[in-house]
Amino acid sequence: MKKIWILTAMLAAAGTYGQTNTLLTWEQCLEKAKAHNPDLVSARAAIRELEYGVTSASSGFLPSISARASGTYGQNENSDDWSDTKNSSGTLSLDQDLFSGGGNVARRGRALAQLEIGKEQYRKILSDVEFALRSAYLDVIYAQELIKLTEQIEERRAANVRLIQLRFDGGRENAGSLARTKAQYSQAAYESKEAQRELVYALRNLAAAIGLMKPVDGAAGDLSALSPEELADLEGLMKQTPDYAIAVTQVEAAGQGLKVTRSSRFPQVSFSASAGLGDGSGFERYDANWRIGLSASVPLFTGGQLRSDIAAAKEQIIQTEMDLIDTGNSLMVTLQQRWNDYVNAVENEAVQNELFRAEQLRAEISTAKYKQGLLSYEDWDTIESNLITQGKTHLQRRRAAARAEAGWKNALGLSVWQTIEKGE
C-alpha cells in the first residue's frame, strides 16, 4: 500500500531535526524564561518596591528618633588681646504622633491597596509573558513540522513529474500537463526553502520571548489543544481575572486616599522628648538638660484648599467605581469572544483532520485510477492539489487551536508560574 506521506510528516513532532540539535521542551522554556525574561524580572522588582512602600507608610505608627551634636571654636578681639570661645552640645530627640485624624491608618491602607494592585499586575504580566512565550513556542513547532511537510510535498511533486514525463514520452499525456507538473514542483521547492526561513525567524522569536539574544536550536512537542469545558459561570470567571481585581482594589485605594485627605481636618497631636548636654565654658563643664512636651495643631482656614482636595478625592472614587463597571462589562465581552474562538478553533481542527484523511484516501484512489488510464489528468491533478492544500490547512488549524487555548488561559489571567508559586 502506498505510504500516507503527509500524515507521517505531521505526526512526527521532533523527527530528524532533533537528532542533531538540543530541543527545548515547554517546561524548559518556562524555566528559562522565569530566569531571563526582562518583563518578569522587572515585575518582581516592582513588587518589592511596593512592599518597601508599605513599610514606609507604616512608619507613622513608630517614634522618630534623632541625634544631633555640634561643636564650635572661635576667637573674639577685646582690648589688645584675643580670647577663645569654645562650646559644644549634644541632643537626643524623640517625636511620636499621638493622633493624626486617621491619616496614618489611611496611608498604610492605601499602600496596602497599591501593593495588592501590584500583585495583580504581576499576575497579569505572568499570564501575558507566558502567552507570548507559548505563541512563540508553538510557532517553532509549527515551522519544524511545516519543513517536514513541505519536504514531503516536494518529493511527491518530483514523483509526479517523473510519472507525467513517462506518460508524455509514451504519448499518453500532453506537453501542457508536463509543464504544469514541473511548475508545481518548482513551487514546492520554493515553499520548502520558505519554510526553512520561517523556522529561522521562529527560533529567534522564541529566544526573544525567553529573554535570550542567541536563537535556540529548536523545540520538542506537538500542536495539540485540550477540548474546552462548558462555559457555566462567565461572570464568576470574569471576577477572578487580574484586570477586574485591579479595578476593585483601585476603588479601595481611592477610598483610602479620601481618608488621608480628610485627616487634615482633624487636630494633629504629637509628643516630643529630648535630652542633651551643653557646654559654654571651653569644654570644661557640661550641663545636662531635658524636656518633654505635647503639641497640637488644627487648620482653621486654608483658603478653600482642603475642601477642594476632599471634593477632588470624592470625584476620584466615582471615577474608579465607573472604571470598575466598564472593566467588568469589557471583560465579559472579551472572555465570551476568547471562549468562542477557542471552541471554534478546536472544532475546526477536528473537521479539517477529517477532511484531510478523506483527501488522503481520494488521492490514493485517484493515482491508481490515473495510472490505469481511468481518470483524466485534470481530475487527478485537482485531487492531488486538494490533498496538498488540505495538508497545509490542517497543520495551520492545529496551530490555531493550540493558540486559541493559550489565548483563553491568558484572558483568564492564568499561568503555570502562578500555579507553581501558589503551590510553594
Q: Residue 73 falls within a domain, yes or no?
A: no
Q: Residue 414 falls within a domain, yes or no?
A: yes
Distances (CA, A) of 193 to 188, 197, 412, 421: 9, 6, 39, 43
Contact between residue 283 and residue 88 where contact means Cβ atoms under 8 Å apart = yes
pLDDT in tens, 62-120: 999 999 988 777 777 777 777 667 777 889 999 999 988 899 999 999 999 999 999 99
Q: Residue 68 falls within a domain, yes or no?
A: no
Domain that holds residue 211: 24-63+102-266+307-423
Nearest to 143, CA basis, from 200, 96, 182, 190: 200
Q: Residue 364 falls within a domain, yes or no?
A: yes
Domain count, the chain: 1
Q: Residue 18 falls within a domain, yes or no?
A: no
Q: Residue 320 falls within a domain, yes or no?
A: yes
pLDDT in tens, 308-351: 999 999 999 999 999 999 999 999 999 999 999 999 999 999 99
Residue whose C-alpha cell reads 530541543 in the numeric block: 23
* SS3 (DSSP) at 267: coil
Nearest to 327, CA basis, from 27, 36, 124: 124
Domain holding 122: CATH number? 1.20.1600.10
* pLDDT, position 285: 66
Tell me what percent of the residues of the chain surpass a pLDDT of 90: 79
Q: Residue 69 falls within a domain, yes or no?
A: no
Q: How confident is the model at residue 6 (pLDDT cuts 50, 70, 90)?
A: very low
Contact between residue 243 and residue 251 where contact means Cβ atoms under 8 Å apart = no
d(CA 245, CA 253): 12
Distances (CA, A) of 297 to 41, 308, 394: 46, 20, 76
Q: Residue 223 falls within a domain, yes or no?
A: yes
pLDDT in tens, 257-278: 999 999 988 999 999 999 988 7
